[in-house]
Amino acid sequence: MAENPAVSEAFDHEHPADERRSVVILFSGDSGDGMQLTGDQFTNTSAVLGNDVSTFPDFPAEIRAPAGTIPGLSGFQVNFSADELYTAGDSPQVLVAMNPAALKANLGELDSGGILIVNTDAFTRNNLRKAGYDANPLEEENAFGEYELVKVPLTTLTRNALEDIDSLSTQARDKCKNAFALGLVYWMFSRPLENTVRFYQTKFAKMPDVVEANTRALKAGYNYGDTIEAFSGRVRVPSRAVVEPGVYRRITGNEAVVYGLVTAAQKAQLPLFYGSYPITPASPILEGLAGLKNFDVRTFQAEDEIAAMCSIIGASFAGSLSATASSGPGIALKSEAINLAVVMELPMVIINVQRGGPSTGLPTKTEQADLLEVLFGRNGESPIPVVAPATPGECFFYAVEACRIAIRHMTPVFLLTDGYIANSSEPWKIPDVDQIEEIKVGKRTDPEGYQPYMREAETLARPWVVPGTPGLEHRVGGLGKQDVTGNVSYDPEDHEHIVKTRAAKVAQIANFISPLQIDGPEEGDLLVLGWGGTYGAIREAVTRCQAKGYSVARGHLRSLNPFPSNLADVLKRYRRVLVPELNMGQLAFLLQAHYVVEVEKLNKVQGRPFQIREIMEKIEALLD
């Protein structure tokens, strides 16, 4: 079995495994160490084995920050479980530290009793200095007393394993040390190697020696675990027992947005025009769509954020389903053009993948501080619907829904995600395409009685009439206008009427969206109300508090404008409402303004998601 770990059983007699319900591993190393790839592979293998998985990649804004330093670290946290998961876990039980900086930055996070795997080869004097260590901590006695320390000379062992692959430089061979580490972790958790071997074969198809080197390092790592008996025991995390049947894959929020937009275009039977300017963390959406041109996707990498927004207005005017994505600073640049879209009343979707702000802020870190920006960051009265998915998988559904709302109500729509759900991944049950409802597009071609701003009674939407339609030639623009005719007008009554009509149009969307669902008691002491990517942490915290006997309910808003029509009623049923947000209290501010309610706030602006325990502590403090 050691000879052929790729087909080894999940565990064996010599090394029986302890069973655990879930484990959190953090892989941490230089941003050039391949930590994202390593974490990704571990996650894929675990997902395919039937675990639930949730990941949290954490990387620096710099492409190659100085090697060996703490700012240069790239981390990948994966939580895998026999039960349903909602977050990537508060803290790891296993830390793989590829260098002293990784140890220094993350040791404090590691659970007491956790396993600490370090690459001793990287603990050179130079690296220790860069990480801020005066002396080598691995040589101090009892420095890691509360942990199980596993010292592995990763670089040396990898070099030895690849000694005879002459076609690769030492540097290229050293790069395979992450495969060695992965193999070792696979051994620890009784995972098969096939998925990753297959991945190497595809990824490096044109470089057979690289496939060979990585595969060999992976197996060497696995066998090393088997041989040295370094660990007190192997750990087994069984597959989930109850999972909805179906075909699954992993998906990140950004991938799900890409799939959602393409699906919406197909369901609307329209070409998709996507205009965008590269920005972290939204660029993967542009890259993803650029690879899907065979779906009649037309991607336009604009000269700037403003042009990206303007191009989708033009494409929408000409009849395409159109979308753009950016992050806070880019949305700020787009805001004048977004207002033109509001006034032209054309369908399009604007995605804001939020990151830490203000200004350039924390490009690779997450935050929820653009809620007020997308609602109010424009001149004049400018209502725009805002939907916010809660999980990576939901990004698919809500991207489709955002397009549906845009077309049905003839309005730009904001899809508000964040760096956390954009980059993290979770298992996604692949939907049955035929079950997704068509998006009705009623482009008008009848000139009889046509007026550019005549409206549907139910939605107040104006007709979508596109160039190329004979007899319906018309002009639209950003100037004040008369409703119905759309003629330029500065008349006071006309202006007030159309401003109120646009507000009513967006407010009426509440008649088309689901009411807020509550998990827990229908009324009582405390409601925890969240929105967006904090879903997992809030859900887990509330569930655990409920299990401890607290009377606490939970709701999660997916529509931030308009709010679900039952929200006022729900808020009244609880003595207190707690709103945890990764900002200074933006939803809380809106709730107080709309419903004149007292709101307890839990705010965090550290560029990191909530930990479950942070929310639990707040709930318990409020109820004790």
- Complex with other proteins: residue 61 or 318, whichever CB lies closer: 318
Q: With contacts defined by CB under 8 A, name the span among 112-120, 270-278, 589-597, 612-620 that binds other proteins.
A: 270-278
Query: Is residue 322 at the binding interface for other proteins, with CB under 8 A as the rule?
Result: yes
Q: Give me the half-sphere count of Cα atoms (radius 13 Å) on the Cβ side of residue 519.
A: 17
d(CA 420, CA 365): 7
Q: With contacts defined by CB under 8 A, name the span among 183-191, 477-485, 518-526, 552-560 that binds other proteins.
A: 477-485
Provide the 10 A C-beta neighbour count for residue 589.
Answer: 17
Q: Please state the closest distance from residue 158 (CB atom) to other proteins, in A.
A: 25
- Complex with other proteins: residue 448 or 473, whichever CB lies closer: 473
- Complex with other proteins: residue 43 or 155, whichever CB lies closer: 43
Residue of the chain from 6, 48, 168, 372 that contacts other proteins (CB under 8 A): 48
Q: In the window 239-258, what residues touch other proteins (CB under 8 A)?
A: 243-250
Query: Is residue 84 at the binding interface for other proteins, with CB under 8 A as the rule?
Result: no
Residue of the chain from 166, 473, 493, 522 that contacts other proteins (CB under 8 A): 473
Query: Is residue 37 at the binding interface for other proteins, with CB under 8 A as the rule?
Result: no
Residue of the chain from 76, 186, 273, 397 that contacts other proteins (CB under 8 A): 273
d(CA 10, CA 237): 10
d(CA 80, CA 118): 21
Query: Is residue 263 at the binding interface for other proteins, with CB under 8 A as the rule?
Result: yes
Residues 6+ apart with CB under 8 A from 434: none
Residue of the chain from 23, 25, 217, 315 that contacts other proteins (CB under 8 A): 315
For residue 385, whether the previous peptide bond is cis, meaning omega lies within 30 degrees of 0, is no
- Complex with other proteins: residue 28 or 45, whichever CB lies closer: 45
Tell me the two tokens of residue 178: 């992450």
d(CA 22, CA 7): 23
Which amino acid is residue 613, in one-letter code?
R
Residue of the chain from 183, 253, 275, 383 that contacts other proteins (CB under 8 A): 275
Candidates 403, 417, 262; CA nearest to 326 is: 417
- Complex with other proteins: residue 217 or 342, whichever CB lies closer: 342
Q: With contacts defined by CB under 8 A, name the span among 82-90, 262-270, 372-380, 515-523 that binds other proteins.
A: 262-270
For residue 245, whether the previous peptide bond is cis, meaning omega lies within 30 degrees of 0, is no
Angle, helices 35-49/177-188, rounded to nearest 10 degrees:
30
Q: Please state the closest distance from residue 303 (CB atom) to other proteins, in A.
A: 4
d(CA 530, CA 560): 11
Query: Is residue 469 at the binding interface for other proteins, with CB under 8 A as the rule?
Result: yes
Query: Is residue 266 at the binding interface for other proteins, with CB under 8 A as the rule?
Result: yes
Residue of the chain from 165, 372, 476, 568 that contacts other proteins (CB under 8 A): 476
Residue of the chain from 132, 358, 442, 477 that contacts other proteins (CB under 8 A): 477
d(CA 415, CA 386): 6
Q: With contacts defined by CB under 8 A, name the span among 66-74, 153-161, 268-276, 357-365 that binds other proteins.
A: 268-276
d(CA 18, CA 476): 69
Q: In the window 185-214, what residues touch other proteins (CB under 8 A)?
A: 195
Q: Please state the closest distance from residue 563 (CB atom) to other proteins, in A.
A: 30
Total residues contacting other proteins (rule CB under 8 A)?
69
In the shown chain, the binding pattern of residues 542 to 571 toward other proteins, with x for contact by CB under 8 A and - for none, equals ------------------------------
- Complex with other proteins: residue 63 or 247, whichever CB lies closer: 247
Query: Is residue 259 at the binding interface for other proteins, with CB under 8 A as the rule?
Result: yes
Query: Is residue 292 at the binding interface for other proteins, with CB under 8 A as the rule?
Result: yes
Give residue for tokens 């401003």. 499
> Exposed, middle or buried, 512 (CB in 10 Å: 0-12/13-18/19+)?
middle
Q: In the window 327-356, what residues touch other proteins (CB under 8 A)?
A: 336-337, 340, 344
Q: With contacts defined by CB under 8 A, name the span among 99-107, 129-137, 308-316, 550-558 that binds other proteins.
A: 308-316
Strands of the sheet containing 94-97, edge to edge, are 52-58, 73-81, 22-30, 94-97, 115-119, 148-152
Candidates 271, 268, 288, 279; CA nearest to 308 is: 279
* Cβ atoms of 74 and 31 closer than 8 Å: yes
Candidates 273, 277, 319, 280; CA nearest to 299 is: 273
d(CA 41, CA 74): 15
Q: Please state the closest distance from residue 209 (CB atom) to other proteins, in A.
A: 24
Residue of the chain from 32, 66, 208, 467 that contacts other proteins (CB under 8 A): 467
Rg of the chain over Cα atoms, rounded to whole angstroms, equals 27
The torsion region of residue 570 among left (phi > 0), alpha (psi -120 to 50) and beta comes to alpha
Q: In the window 478-537, what residues touch other proteins (CB under 8 A)?
A: 478-479, 487-488
Give residues in contact with other proteins (CB under 8 A).
44, 47-48, 50, 195, 243-250, 259, 262-263, 266, 271, 273, 275, 292-298, 300, 302-304, 306-308, 310-320, 322, 336-337, 340, 344, 430-431, 433, 466-479, 487-488
